Chain A
Amino acid sequence: MLWYRFWLETRARFLTSLATVTIFCGVFVYHAEGLLRPQWKSGFNRLLFINQQFLVIMWILACVLLGMGGIVREKAVGTSSLTLSLPVRRATVLGVRVGVGLAEAIVLGVVPWLTVFVISAWAGMPISITQVGSYIVLLTGGGLVYFAMAVLVSSLVVGEYTAPAVAFGVVLLSVLVFDNWIPRFNAWRLVTGDFSIDRKTFLLGKHLPWPGILASLAVAALMVLASMLVVERREF
């Protein structure tokens, strides 16, 4: 029942984010598509790439919000003693929360792109499912590190509003720092497709940057593990 509890806790945030992101992508692609005729082929591919840029911003914001919560936040809102009195390990509570959040983050990445796929086909300009799949893999595979970062921040920072503020700050800071100093390792660019896009055709390359995606997933896993250790040791 822990999963059900976390679904109830996050469903408003999740459904609002899902509706916002999906409607935005659908409207953006549908309307811009009309504007770009008749050179739609490369123009439309470019449009999809731009769509991914906007989607990344919204998806990461949503992921940070979904990553908020947990026992540390509960301490701020006064429900931690109920959770801690349950016969469940703290790590299990966090694990289930992360599991529910991961599932929601993936759905948040898949549904908007499937909407774009369906709208394009319906408008007579079908796009390759491979391109759609690649964008989804980049978004969810490379971007889950932001969700994990939000989980870690919410395990370290107490306060209902302080934690999301710090998390958004860390995202911004990490993007700026990586972009200026070590752009090759900038997860933001990995997720947007900057590292894999062909600048002439605006199509994603056949070979996705798997080392980068796997490294990003590994860092995400480490962050979740660190969060578990923090929560296990923390006093409430």
Chain B
Amino acid sequence: MTNEAVILTQGLTKSYGNREAVRALNLSVGRNRITAFLGRNGAGKSTTIKVLLGMVRATAGGGTVLGKQITDKKANLDTRRRVAYVAEDKPLYGYMTVEQTISFARSFYSDWRTNVERQLLRDYELPTRQKIKQLSKGMRTKLALLLAFARRPELLILDEPSDGLDPVGIENLLQTLVAQSADGVTVFFSSHQIAEVERVADHVCILEKGGLVVDAPLDELRQSYRRIDLVFPFPAPEREFRISGVERIRTSGHQMSVLASRNAEALVERAHCLNAVSVEVAPVGLREIFLETVKEN
């Protein structure tokens, strides 16, 4: 694993009229990592991806993908040769058959792997002669993934890749993502399925209202975030716990729950000093971190 950034943005902003879809985004996606890009609907994830791929122009700021400026049209063409992208709505031409779609996509990429294509066709059980418009959502997702995985891209950008897949399909997808990463491919994917993200991601970026609110390795998040449940013999002294690293405090009578991104030890010590009758420290899952982060913002 190297620290070289495959995706790098500086102050990237995209506005639609008065609305800022992406706000001064400073994003860095490391090579050979699986980076999860999380956020609520409308947080700006898809817009960010579209700006990175040159589909929409940034209003301000800039960035690079695979070392190429995203604002440079010629460079962008080269980037698209080296990046495999699966869009959120899994766009495919409805009038083509599965076979025609694969032949069409194959013709654009010199890195196409026919053996992988055949293997995935078998694994996904795709009906090659069927028209795209007759396929189910899950089958369309599988075909879109096949078009990405049959290549050997340097960077895989996947927007909601598990959308429409059944549990078996999701399991296969996660295994493929890990295998791709092990093969040297950088994976950057957005998802609403936190459980999936927790299983495969090395790094997590959380976007809220167009701005980056969390950007950290998943292990670091797991180690640093703690939920501390406290019970006091008197009404919970919320103000005493408002220190650096505290993300959220909830009080109910004599009880208090503190979510801390760091300084958990200091909080425990403070609780003991304030004669807390019960102090329980528990690790926090990514789902809770995500929910609290976006709620807080």
A residues touching B (Cβ–Cβ < 8 Å)? 1, 4-5, 8-9, 12, 74, 77-82, 84-89, 235-236
* A84 cross-chain contacts in B, Cβ below 8 A: 53-55
| Contact between chains at A82 and B93 (CB < 8 Å) | yes
A interface footprint on B72-110 (CB within 8 Å = 1, 0 otherwise): 010001101101010101011111100010011001110
Interface: B50 (CB within 8 A): yes
* A81 cross-chain contacts in B, Cβ below 8 A: 50, 55, 85, 87, 89, 91
| Contact between chains at A1 and B92 (CB < 8 Å) | no
Residue of chain B at shortest CB distance from A89: B77
Given contact pairs A78-B89, A79-B94, a sample of 11 additional A-B residue pairs in the complex whose CB atoms are under 8 Å apart: A1-B107, A1-B108, A8-B96, A79-B92, A81-B87, A82-B92, A86-B80, A89-B77, A235-B55, A235-B57, A236-B50
A interface footprint on B47-75 (CB within 8 Å = 1, 0 otherwise): 00010011111000000000000000100
Instruction: Give the contacting residue for B55; candidates A87, A89, A236; CB below 8 A.
Output: A236
Least distance between B7 CB and chain A CB atoms (Å): 15
Residue of chain A at shortest CB distance from B93: A79
| Contact between chains at A80 and B91 (CB < 8 Å) | yes
Residue of chain A at shortest CB distance from B56: A235
Instruction: Give the contacting residue for B103; candidates A1, A9, A79; CB below 8 A.
Output: A1
* B83 cross-chain contacts in A, Cβ below 8 A: 85
Least distance between A45 CB and chain B CB atoms (Å): 42
Instruction: Give the contacting residue for A78; candidates B57, B81, B91; CB below 8 A.
Output: B91
Tell me, in angstroms, the Cα distance from A85 to B56 when the chains sit together: 12
What are 15 A-B interface contacts by the 8 Å CB criterion? Answer: A5-B93, A5-B104, A8-B100, A9-B93, A77-B94, A78-B89, A80-B55, A80-B91, A81-B55, A81-B85, A81-B91, A82-B91, A85-B53, A88-B108, A236-B56
* A85 cross-chain contacts in B, Cβ below 8 A: 53, 55, 80, 83, 85, 87
